[in-house]
Amino acid sequence: MDAALAALIKLNRGVALLAGVALVLCALFILADIALRRVGSSFGGTDEISGYVMAGLTAWGFGFALTERAHVRIDLLRDRLVSPLRAALDLLAMVALAYVALVMAVRGWPVLAKTIANNARANTVLETPLVIPQSVWFAGLVWFALMAAAMVLIGALFLLRGEIKKTEAAIGPPGEAP
Amino acid sequence: MIGALTAGLLILLSLSIPVGVVLFLLGFGVSEFFSAFPLMRGLGQMAWSAMNSATLIAVPLFVLLGEILVRGGVATRTYAALDKWVSWLPGGLVHANIGTATMFSATSGSSVATAATVATVAMPQAEKLGYDPRLFSGAIAAGGTLGIMIPPSINLIVYGFLTETSIPQLFVAGLLPGLILAFAFSLVTVLLCRWRPSLGGERRVYSLRQMLRALADLLPVILLFVVVVGAIYAGIATPTEAAAVGVAAAFLIAAAFGGVSLTMMRQSLLGTMRITAMIMLVVTGAAFLNFTLAAAGLGRDLSAFMDGLGLTPLSTLLVIVAIYIVLGFFIETLSLMVVTIPIMVPIVVGLGYDKVWFGIVMIVLVEMALITPPVGLNLYVVQGARGSGTLHEVMVGAIPFVLVMLFMVAALIAVPGLALFLPSLL
């Protein structure tokens, strides 16, 4: 279980680094466009591309923020409880999150399905086939749902084994602000 | 609907369910119980359009900018340089705390990272030079909050996105109140140290040559700020473009100071992704809740509710301010802003107040939330970096600055021009 948790954390750091590199590439693209504009030219559509990058890195970032325990919670009441109750609340929070992640993925699918069915292109100069950015985005939402389910499982197993400390370490709030 | 919504919000939040998740759950509830249409079907499309946003990508870019400056060691140099410039004032280094926090939060828009950095650099000096630990640490916590007011501010981008307000206008509007707050913080420090000299430590005067040499460390950061914010104000660049330029400039500055390495870049990118994903889950949740509330006719409900209260616009506004102060004790900055926007902004706009102006008032109020116990993130961050003393000391030290912020709110209500004068020039 510990190994599985460590592997998930490491995997998501890899994902986040890739997304971070995409952000840097997007920034370079914007810079190049600004430079081109000075000489009276332009790629056109930097806004459109930035939007797609944002959608992709956000969707894939959700899972990373989850394994890093970075999704913000109000732990005022939680901190005043005894340890086993705290861990129970952590599990409840994780179940609620997994539910929302699942609903998002399920409701995200029709968006992509419709795009595929109509072979839809963006209503812009680039006429981007929307299937590309939306697939990345949808895959990110599915990844988030999978990660959330895995974290519920890990948290629940730790709790069932009575390893309260480990439950809190896996799905509780971060000990120190980063 | 308003009662059920408020109760649901408070209960779910206190169960420590993640804030973004709470907003989605409330949206599901509104769709289920208060809407004649199946709103859930719109969730996918709604999430796609909220996340596919060329405006919001300014958020990770500004976060990255700040991460690079802070992790690249630029903050440390700024602190040392400001020390040369302000340590002759009563209160000495406390002004360097406020100044560094202001400058860094101004360039990065992240309050917590700034407070953490300044606290790490500054704290060892406090003991050595005999400062009162309360005022010294309180000033760091308070100075760190300014980042969400002085542009480029991530919170203002989020406010603009959710309320469909012009982000450049919000940025211009925040400049004057932000600077006034920073000066007021310094002024309060001077007054306190005049009244009780023991609060301040040893005052140090540096030679003009040392001061000029320190400028070399200060100017690049100031220049960065001027370029980024100036380009937005002048209308040359969108906030997103200005942020991209800022990232490149921050990278160059950090590189020039020898602070760039592979590890540092890796950490900056990971930090950026962590903060961005956290913010975006909350923002997407709020956008969905907004959508369901509008479809379920919140506007009608609210005006009926407000008519029932029979208050004048001003007293309603004061009630809202009081609500923010109370909620601010328990809920953190961004969450506080985002969970209240769907209800508060329609009320305030309905009363005839300006959306840009209220954005700035709200920012001061949520800044205060960062340093009011029991939940005041900056207090904990500063205490965490101190490694000695008690949290109580930081809380006491922050009190004078909380009072300054309350005055600022009153001033903004009495003189809306403080926020609206500069945008009117655009």
Q: Which residues of A touch B16 (CB under 8 A)?
A: 73-75, 77-78, 89-90, 93, 173
Band (B354; pLDDT cuts 50, 70, 90)? very high
Between CA B111 and CA B103 the distance in angstroms is 11
Burial of A77 (0-12, 13-18, 19+ CB in 10 A): middle
Angle, to 10 degrees, between the axis of helix B239-256 and the axis of helix B74-86? 80
Size of interface A-B (CB pairs under 8 A): 196
Nearest to B45 by CA among A138, A142, A154: A138
Between CA B361 and CA B355 the distance in angstroms is 10
Residue of A nearest to B268 (CA): A20
Q: What is the ipTM of this complex?
A: 0.94
Q: What percent of chain B has pLDDT over 70?
A: 98
A178 pLDDT above the threshold of 70: no
CA dihedral B318, B156, B46, A23 (to 10 degrees): -160
Other C-beta atoms within 10 Å of B59: how many?
28
Token pair 């400062």 is at which residue? Answer: B131
Per the prediction, chain B carries an average pLDDT of 87
Q: Which of residues 338-377 of B touch A (CB under 8 A)?
A: 374-375, 377
In tens, the pLDDT along A24-64 reads 999 999 999 988 888 887 777 889 999 999 999 999 999 99
Question: Which pLDDT belongs to residue B107?
Answer: 61
Name the token pair of A15.
């994902």
Angle, to 10 degrees, between the axis of helix A164-171 and the axis of helix A131-160? 160
Interface contact A65-B266, CB threshold 8 A: no
Nearest to B98 by CA among B179, B197, B195: B179
- Of B108 and B279, the one with more pLDDT: B279
Interface contact A96-B380, CB threshold 8 A: no
In this prediction, residues B238-255 reach a mean pLDDT of 92
> What's the 3-state SS for B96-126?
HHHHHHHHHHHHHCCHHHHHHHHHHHHHHHH
Band (B11; pLDDT cuts 50, 70, 90)? very high
Nearest to B45 by CA among B296, B291, B297, B343: B291
Question: How many CA within 13 A on the CB side of residue B324?
Answer: 32
In tens, the pLDDT along B219-238 reads 888 888 888 888 888 878 88
B10 pLDDT above the threshold of 90: no
Interface contact B52-A51, CB threshold 8 A: yes
Highest-confidence segment of B17-26, B324-333, B381-390: B17-26
B39 pLDDT above the threshold of 50: yes
Question: Which pLDDT belongs to residue B108?
Answer: 58
Question: Which pLDDT belongs to residue A177?
Answer: 35
Nearest-CB residue to A27 (from B61, B278, B381): B61
Band (A176; pLDDT cuts 50, 70, 90)? very low
In this prediction, residues A154-170 reach a mean pLDDT of 91
Interface contact A74-B19, CB threshold 8 A: yes
Q: Which residues of B touch A54 (CB under 8 A)?
A: 51-54, 56-57, 60
Instruction: Quote the DSSP letter at residue A121.
Output: B
In tens, the pLDDT along B374-405 reads 777 788 778 877 767 788 888 899 999 999 99
**Inter-residue contact B149 to B181 (CB < 8 Å):** yes
Phi, psi at residue A129, to the nearest 5°? -65, 115
Between CA A85 and CA A89 the distance in angstroms is 6
Q: Which residues of A touch B65 (CB under 8 A)?
A: none
- Tell which of B25, B32, B52 to mutate to test the A interface (max A CBs under 10 Å): B52
Residue of B nearest to A178 (CA): B113
User: Which residues does residue A129 pair with via DSSP β-bridges, in sequence order?
Assistant: A121
Question: pTM for the full model?
Answer: 0.89
Nearest-CB residue to A50 (from B21, B48, B240): B240
Q: What percent of chain B has pLDDT over 90?
A: 34
The alpha-carbon gap from A8 to the nearest alpha carbon of chain B, in Å, equals 15
Nearest to B103 by CA among B79, B126, B125: B79
In tens, the pLDDT along B179-189 reads 999 999 999 99
